[in-house]
């Protein structure tokens, strides 16, 4: 009975050891991943003149398609609330993305707000690539 209880305790504490090791890794400030894309949220300003937007849109669409064909826009989506679009830009910096987006007709006419989020690889996945630590103790209970 005592041996079974020891095995049960060891098995129940094993997940806590894993969590503790992950938390110790997160206690150190992680180096951020290199920016490989920029999420760009374009929203129409609430006080924007709809007639002016209508006049600018043909040029906006042409210029946006050019960015796509030049490989600067990886993906683009309409916002479900109808207030704008979301782009995933193939840019290495937010500054590069800002320069592109602020050159578009809607931004030049000051009809939109632009928000930028730099993105990169999900670096914690590297933990999955690490070789497992060899243990001299056997974790599975023996009969």
Query: 115: Cβ–Cβ under 8 A, 6 or more apart, which residues?
Result: 40, 41, 43
Q: Does any domain span residue 71?
A: yes
The answer to whether residues 13 and 79 belong to one domain is no
CB 98 within 8 A of CB 116: yes
The answer to whether residues 116 and 46 belong to one domain is yes
The pTM for the full model equals 0.67
CATH for 115: 3.30.70.1060
pLDDT by residue for the chain (143 residues), tens only, comes to: 555 555 544 555 455 445 445 555 555 656 678 899 999 999 999 999 999 999 999 999 999 999 999 999 999 999 999 989 999 999 999 999 999 999 999 999 999 999 999 999 888 888 888 877 776 665 666 65
Q: What is the tally of structural domains in the chain?
A: 2
Q: Does any domain span residue 139?
A: no
Backbone angles phi, psi at 68, to 5 degrees: -65, -50
CB 139 within 8 A of CB 18: no
- Domain of residue 17: give its range: 2-32
CB 112 within 8 A of CB 100: no
The answer to whether residues 75 and 108 belong to one domain is yes
d(CA 39, CA 98): 11
Among 42, 135, 53, CA closest to 86:
42
């Amino acid at each position: 009975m005592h041996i079974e209880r020891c095995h049960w305790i060891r098995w129940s504490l094993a997940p806590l050891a894993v969590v503790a090791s992950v938390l110790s890794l997160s206690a150190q400030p992680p180096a951020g991943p290199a920016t490989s894309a920029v999420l760009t949220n374009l929203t129409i300003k609430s006080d924007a003149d709809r007639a002016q937007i209508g006049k600018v849109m043909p040029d906006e669409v042409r210029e946006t398609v050019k960015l796509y064909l030049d490989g600067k826009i990886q993906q683009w989506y309409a916002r479900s609330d109808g207030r704008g679009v979301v782009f995933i830009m193939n840019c290495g910096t937010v500054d590069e993305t800002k320069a592109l987006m602020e050159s578009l007709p809607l931004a030049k006419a000051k009809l939109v707000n632009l928000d930028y989020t730099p993105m990169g690889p999900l670096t914690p996945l590297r933990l999955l690539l690490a070789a497992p630590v060899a243990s001299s103790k056997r974790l599975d209970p023996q009969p």
